[in-house]
Amino acid sequence: MLIGAHVSNAGGLPNAVERAVERNCDAVQIFNQSPRQWKPTAYTDDDFAAFREARDASPIASVLIHAVYLINCASEDRELVEKSRVSLVHSLRVGGAIGADGVVLHAGSALKGDVGAAIGRAGEVIRSALDETDGCELHLENTAGTGGTLGRSFGELAGLLEAAGGGKRLAVCLDSCHLLASGYDVRSAEALSGVLEDFDREVGLGRLHSLHVNDSQTPLGSNRDRHCMLGTGEIGEAGCAAFLSDPAFDGLPAIFEGPGSSGKAVEPGDIVRMRELREAGVKARR
């Protein structure tokens, strides 16, 4: 497993690599722009080259980009759909330029409308964005299910993949907090094993290319997306250790998004904690 964190790239893309190295990360996730604004950051070829140079000189083995939160590929509002498509294309192009392994996307929300129709609309937008770009993968993230968000179940993830064309650049990012909130019990190695069997049957483990490792403030089936420090929430130490040590996740980038021990950004000690929990989980499986 490639242990990592979401870090800021404030001050320039190479700074994200520096911050990840300071935290002893194997992997890193960044936003390609402000996550709550439509305006894209105007990067230059020099910016991209500087990032690649910094990464090549570091131990960082995997890079992910998280697309902006405003995107709703499933909207019935044509203006919002077009903004979402343009933003997603920009994320994928930045990902390709910096050599990212994937762009992680919240596909959108059906709100109170028909979920099947919403999945179809989202699939069309995703397919269009992929057709306009090349190289960088798109990782559809499972959701907690708040407000009709798509991807709350493995069936919905499978539907999104199919609606988007099912191409080789389409993959999945599983978030542990979102799994618990949407009703999947990941609080023990045994429970997680059953969840992954379901995922393999409905989506396929071959589609799983990245992970978000977050504990949850809210209980199983709450449909609320509230992260907390690893081991301090409803998943708990045993559940986080099981998630971090499952053999099915070997080789995948596993990103802790926070909040960290400071209450805000992920700190070096939080990555130490991730490694300790992983080791505890490995020992428990022996």
Residues designated as active site: 36, 66, 69, 106, 141, 175, 178, 212, 225, 227, 257
98-109 burial, b if ≥16 CB within 10 A, otherwise e? bebbbbbbbbbb
Q: How far apart are CA 101 and CA 205, in angstroms?
A: 17
Which of 206, 6, 244 has its CA nearest to residue 104? 6
Give backbone dihedrals phi and psi of 114, rounded to 5 degrees, phi first: -70, 125
Cβ burial, residue 10 (10 Å; 0-12/13-18/19+): exposed
Instruction: Write the CB contacts of 215 (distance below 8 Å, at least 6 apart in sequence).
Output: 176, 177, 227, 228, 229, 230, 231, 232, 233, 234, 235, 236, 239, 240
Q: How far apart are CA 40 and CA 104, in angstroms?
A: 17
